[in-house]
Amino acid sequence: MIGPATILVIDDVPENLAVVFDVLNQANFEVLVVESGAVALERMEVLRPDLILLDVRMPDLDGLEVCRRLHADPKTAAIPVIMMTALNDTTDTVAGFEAGAVDYLRKPVAPEEVLVRVNTHLQMRMLRKTLEQRNQALSREVRRRREAERQLEQSLEQAVLVVAGNGTVQFATRRAWDLLEQYFADWDGTGLPSDLGGWIGERAEPMIRFPRPKGSLVARLFTDPGNTSANCMVTLEEHLVMISPEPLQQLGLTPREAEVLYWLAQGKTSPEIAVILRTALNTVKKHAHNIYAKLGVDNRTAAAARAFEVIGPQGEQQSE
Structural domain ending residue among the three candidates 240, 266, 289: 240
Regarding whether 48 and 30 lie in a shared domain, the answer is yes
Regarding whether 71 and 184 lie in a shared domain, the answer is no
The reply to whether 99 falls in a domain is: yes
202-225: per-residue pLDDT in tens?
Answer: 888 899 999 877 778 999 998 877
Q: What's the CA gap between 217 and 49, in Å, rounded?
A: 70
3-state class (DSSP) for residue 256 = helix
Q: What is the domain count for the chain? A: 3
User: Residue range 32-42: average pLDDT?
Assistant: 91
Regarding whether 236 and 251 lie in a shared domain, the answer is no
* The one-letter amino acid at 213: P
pLDDT at residue number 291: 94
Band (pLDDT 50/70/90 cuts) for residue 89 is low
Share of the chain above pLDDT 70, in %: 91
> What is the CATH classification number for the domain harbouring 235?
3.30.450.20
The reply to whether 148 falls in a domain is: no
The reply to whether 200 falls in a domain is: yes
92-111: per-residue pLDDT in tens?
Answer: 788 889 999 999 998 888 89
Q: What's the CA gap between 223 and 218, in Å, rounded?
A: 16
Checking phi first, is residue 295 left (phi over 0); if not, alpha (psi -120 to 50) or beta? alpha
| Candidate from 59-63, 233-237, 248-252 with smallest mean pLDDT | 59-63
315: number of CA atoms within 13 Å, CB side? 3
**Beta-sheet pairing, 81-85 with 51-55:** parallel
Regarding whether 103 and 92 lie in a shared domain, the answer is yes
> What is the CATH classification number for the domain harbouring 44?
3.40.50.2300
Band (pLDDT 50/70/90 cuts) for residue 190 is confident
Please determine, for residue 139, whether its predicted confidence score (pLDDT) is greater than 60: yes
Please determine, for residue 316, whether its predicted confidence score (pLDDT) is greater than 50: no
The reply to whether 225 falls in a domain is: yes
Please determine, for residue 81, whether its predicted confidence score (pLDDT) is greater than 90: yes
Regarding whether 162 and 118 lie in a shared domain, the answer is no
Structural domain ending residue among the three candidates 205, 223, 240: 240
User: Residue range 8-23: average pLDDT?
Assistant: 90
Regarding whether 117 and 16 lie in a shared domain, the answer is yes
Structural domain ending residue among the three candidates 131, 147, 174: 131
pLDDT at residue number 155: 64
The reply to whether 247 falls in a domain is: yes
Instruction: Spell out the residues 6+ positions from residue 224 whose beta carbon is closer than 8 angstroms to its own.
Output: 230, 232
Regarding whether 184 and 246 lie in a shared domain, the answer is no
Domain region containing 105 = 6-131
The reply to whether 291 falls in a domain is: yes
**Beta-sheet pairing, 215-222 with 207-212:** antiparallel
Q: What's the CA gap between 317 and 240, in Å, rounded?
A: 9
| Candidate from 68-72, 154-158, 167-171, 272-276 with smallest mean pLDDT | 154-158
DSSP annotation string for 160-223: EEEE-TTS-EEEE-HHHHHHHHHH-TT--SSS--HHHHHHHHHT--SEEEEEETTEEEEEEEE-
pLDDT at residue number 208: 93
| Candidate from 5-19, 60-74, 202-216 with smallest mean pLDDT | 202-216
Regarding whether 18 and 112 lie in a shared domain, the answer is yes
Band (pLDDT 50/70/90 cuts) for residue 83 is very high
User: Residue range 263-282: average pLDDT?
Assistant: 89
Please determine, for residue 243, whether its predicted confidence score (pLDDT) is greater than 70: no
The reply to whether 138 falls in a domain is: no
Alpha carbon separation from 312 to 37, 54, 266, 288 (Å, rounded): 85, 85, 12, 20
Please determine, for residue 174, whether its predicted confidence score (pLDDT) is greater than 70: yes
Q: What's the CA gap between 214 and 241, in Å, rounded?
A: 6
Regarding whether 192 and 97 lie in a shared domain, the answer is no
Share of the chain above pLDDT 90, in %: 42
Regarding whether 184 and 76 lie in a shared domain, the answer is no
Regarding whether 118 and 11 lie in a shared domain, the answer is yes
Rg of the chain on CA atoms, in Å:
36
Please determine, for residue 282, whether its predicted confidence score (pLDDT) is greater than 90: yes
Strand order in the sheet with 103-106: 30-34, 6-10, 51-55, 81-85, 103-106
Strand order in the sheet with 232-240: 169-172, 159-163, 232-240, 215-222, 207-212
Closest C-alpha to 304, from 316, 315, 317, 295: 295
DSSP annotation string for 291-305: HHHHHT-SSHHHHHH
> What is the CATH classification number for the domain harbouring 275?
1.10.10.10
Regarding whether 229 and 199 lie in a shared domain, the answer is yes
Tell me how far apart the terminal alpha carbons of the chain are, to the nearest angstrom.
Answer: 72
Q: What's the CA gap between 207 and 1, in Å, rounded?
A: 69
Please determine, for residue 318, whether its predicted confidence score (pLDDT) is greater than 50: no
The reply to whether 137 falls in a domain is: no
